[in-house]
Amino acid sequence: MQIVVTPTGTIRCLYDETLDLHAFGPLEIQRGSHVEPTADSQWLADLSPVHGPVLGPYPLRRQALAAEAAWLEDNWLNPPVS
């Protein structure tokens, strides 16, 4: 689990239950995407909540979840430095 602490003290991460994040204080949890099935049983990762793309389609849900996590880590949690 990657945890990023900003200069203002805000902590950002991709939420999972590896650590009890309540130890850091009150939480504000927001969705980074929506992984949903398509009409033809494929899977999409819609990253519009963080102004990202729609990834997929993928034949397996776990592939969409992996793509979602990779995109969030690369573009939201650790954005490229310009």
Between 79 and 60, name the one with better pLDDT.
Answer: 60
Q: What's the pLDDT score for residue 47?
A: 97
13-41 residues labelled b (16+ CB within 10 A) or e (exposed)? beeeeeeebeeeeeeeeeebbebeeeeee
Residue 72 parent element (H or E): helix 61-72
44 CB neighbour count, 10 Å cutoff? 19
Asked if 63 and 37 touch (Cβ cutoff 8 Å), the reply is no
% of the chain surpassing 90 pLDDT: 60
Q: Where are the domains of the chain?
A: 3-77
Q: Taking the model in full, what pTM does it have?
A: 0.84
pLDDT digits 0-9 by tens, 9-20 = 888 899 888 899
